[in-house]
Structure 1
Amino acid sequence: MDDNEEDTCSSSSMMNKEKVNASTCHLEDLYIRGCPSLRCLPSIHQLSASLTSLSVLNCSKLTTLSSTGHLPVALKHLTVKSCSELKALLPKGQLPETLESLIIGYCQKVESIVEKFHNNRALCDITVFKCQKLKSLPEGLETLSSLRNINMTSCQDFSSFPKGGFPDSNLTVYLYGCEKLEALPSGIHTLSSLEIHNCPNMSLTEEGLPTKLAGLSTEGIKQYKALMEGGSHNLTSLTYLYISGGLDGESFQDEDLRITLPCTLTSLGIGKFPNLKYLPFKNFEDLPSLSCLRIFDFPELTSLPILPSSLLQLYIHRCPLLKEACKSDKGKEWYKIADIPCVEIDGKFIYEPEKL
């Protein structure tokens, strides 16, 4: 259903109930887009009982999905985007117990999803972006035993997670542009991957990062210092680590970066430190499993540490002095990278012949 059918999208009735029942009784996927008069979806009795996927986009007067607090009982996938007047998905009632994925984006006024998660043990993915007024996720988050992914992007007023914390599941949490968020909830020992970017007031948890953490991506001085003080070498399951100076990068000096990396690392990315002249990790050559290294945005970086023999891929971007030092056969750092199977500098494979 799209904007060519907007006359049928009214707040009182989208179409005659009998016609709806006749034409949609076996409908599994419903896509509604560009219905400027739609304020609320039809009642649950007018929607197919077998509906498993519902998408609602660009409905500028939509204020809630259901006035009764009910959605189709078989619903598995719910997407709501660009509904500028939406304030709550369901101001009363509950999300269907069958729901597996929830995506909400570009809904500037949304303040609430539902009051509480209730028997939503099938829910595995929550993605919210560009919802500036949303302050928290519903209570009961810790009961979502199948939850695998939480993605909160550019939600400026998002300031806290529910007090119950995260569920005991193999959970990945991605946070970007949540300016008011200051801390993770307690009990983060179940996290498998954590990414924090452009969250200037965010500090890592005082209880320390979970030892089972397999992936970690941080940006800014607060997160980095917490990582340094917490002992990153104690993250004995960590295989992926990404460190960015971000907007704080200019305040870093060489001595700020002295940490011992966990020996389990297979992939490491580091960048956006404009004043650093070298990478002073304490044990760079003692990383027996490191296979991929990415270095980017180091305008003053002139040299590489002794690299582990396990390294198979090296990517260098926007590091002009290091690029010069790594020139084939004549750069002073060439001997350190000559035996690495794949080396790219500014997107060019180093073994490509020079163009005349």
Structure 2
Amino acid sequence: MKHLRLLDLRNNCRIQKLPNSICKLQNLQTLALCGCEKLEELPKDIRYLIRLRIFLVTTKKNSLPGCPNSLRFLRLSNCGNLESLVETMQVCTSLRVLFIDNCGGLNSLLPTLKFLTALEALLFENCEKLDLIEMEDNQDDFPTSLRALAFVGLPQLVAIPDWIKRSTKSLQILYIESCPNLTALPEWLVNLESLRRLKIKNCPKLSSLSKGKLCLPTLRSFIIAECPELIRRCQPEIGEDWHMIAHASKIYLDDKRIKKAYN
């Protein structure tokens, strides 16, 4: 077993505990525990898996043990009791992708993001208590190299956090979906000079785009769906906000592609 590189126990509905002896698998690169909804205890020495690159986990614990610095991809899924990531994030300085979904007990990431200096993709989905605005006190501590960012199913999101401005030169993909209390897009959106894809879906309170002209030179795809007032304002030629997006090469309004003839 010492040469094992992949251990996949996904969707095992019976397992409750993993033995600490798993941490002797020094060549393990992927540990998949997503869907293990009865898992109550993780190996305490998981940080010693020095070649671990990918860690996918579902657990009933309210915190996670420290992960190895070798970790590149971390997904936390259906961890309903999870409250804190402090111990985990302090050592994940090489992490590239963080995906958190269906973690209803997680209400803040303070002060964990400041440790993720290499982070390139950050995705949140269906975390109803998560407050991202609270994290704005010390913006100089946030990652500067984000390429992809997704906010999906976040009822606490009322505004796009200003700490994203730290990644204005690198951000290429921005998804905002099912955020029922989001009311406005930030004025600094025009500074996302590398943005290629912008998708906004099911944000009914969002009534207009950023003030000024969305002159994003690299924008290739602009998608708006299930945002009635925003759709109205972005109608070709006649909408109040049409001039802000007309330069994009692909525009979709409620899944209908606007013909290039309008550009």
Q: TM-score range by the shorter chain?
A: 0.7 to 0.9
> TM-score when scaled to structure 1?
0.58
Measure, in 2, the Cα distance between the counterparts of 1:170 and 1:207: 11
Report the CA distance between 1:158 and its aligned residue: 3.6
Report the CA distance between 1:84 and its aligned residue: 4.0
Q: Per the alignment, in what secondary structure is the counterpart of residue 321 of structure 1?
A: helix
Q: Per the alignment, in what secondary structure is the counterpart of residue 268 of structure 1?
A: strand
Letter paired with 2:122: L
Match of residue 174 from structure 1? 99
Measure, in 1, the Cα distance between the counterparts of 2:152 and 2:194: 22
**Structure 1 counterpart of 2:215, from 293, 301, 308:** 308
Measure, in 1, the Cα distance between the counterparts of 2:240 and 2:131: 34
- Bigger relative CO (Cα 8 Å, ≥ 6 apart): 2
Match of residue 191 from structure 1? none
Report the CA distance between 1:80 and its aligned residue: 1.8
Q: Per the alignment, in what secondary structure is the counterpart of residue 195 of structure 2?
A: coil
Measure, in 2, the Cα distance between the counterparts of 1:287 and 1:207: 20
Determine whether 1:317 maps to 2:241: no
Match of residue 299 from structure 1? 204
Match of residue 6 from structure 2? 77
Match of residue 139 from structure 2? 231
**Structure 1 counterpart of 2:19, from 90, 111, 114:** 90
Measure, in 1, the Cα distance between the counterparts of 2:161 and 2:72: 33
Residues 1:158 and 1:245: Cα distance change in structure 2 (over 3 Å): closer
Determine whether 1:124 maps to 2:53: yes
Q: Residues 122-201 of structure 1: matches in 2 within 5 Å?
A: 122-129=51-58, 131=59, 133-138=60-65, 141=67, 144-160=68-84, 163=87, 165-180=90-105, 199=106, 201=107
Task: State the identity as a percent.
Answer: 24
Report the CA distance between 1:317 and its aligned residue: 1.3
Where does structure 1 lack aligned partners over 5 or more consecutive residues? 1-71, 181-198
Letter paired with 2:72: R
Q: Per the alignment, in what secondary structure is the counterpart of residue 3 of structure 2?
A: coil
Residues 1:307 and 1:210: Cα distance change in structure 2 (over 3 Å): same
Shifted more, 309-318 versus 226-235: the winner is: 226-235
**Structure 2 counterpart of 1:205, from 98, 107, 111:** 111
Report the CA distance between 1:153 and its aligned residue: 0.6
Residues 1:291 and 1:76: Cα distance change in structure 2 (over 3 Å): closer
Report the CA distance between 1:291 and its aligned residue: 2.5
Q: How many residues align?
A: 252
Where does structure 2 lack aligned partners over 5 or more consecutive residues? none
Report the CA distance between 1:276 and its aligned residue: 5.3
> Any conservation in 1 of the 2:113–2:142 contact (CA below 8 Å)?
no
RMSD value over aligned CA atoms? 3.5
> Any conservation in 1 of the 2:232–2:239 contact (CA below 8 Å)?
yes
Report the CA distance between 1:234 and its aligned residue: 6.6
Report the CA distance between 1:307 and its aligned residue: 0.4
**Structure 2 counterpart of 1:287, from 189, 192, 212:** 192
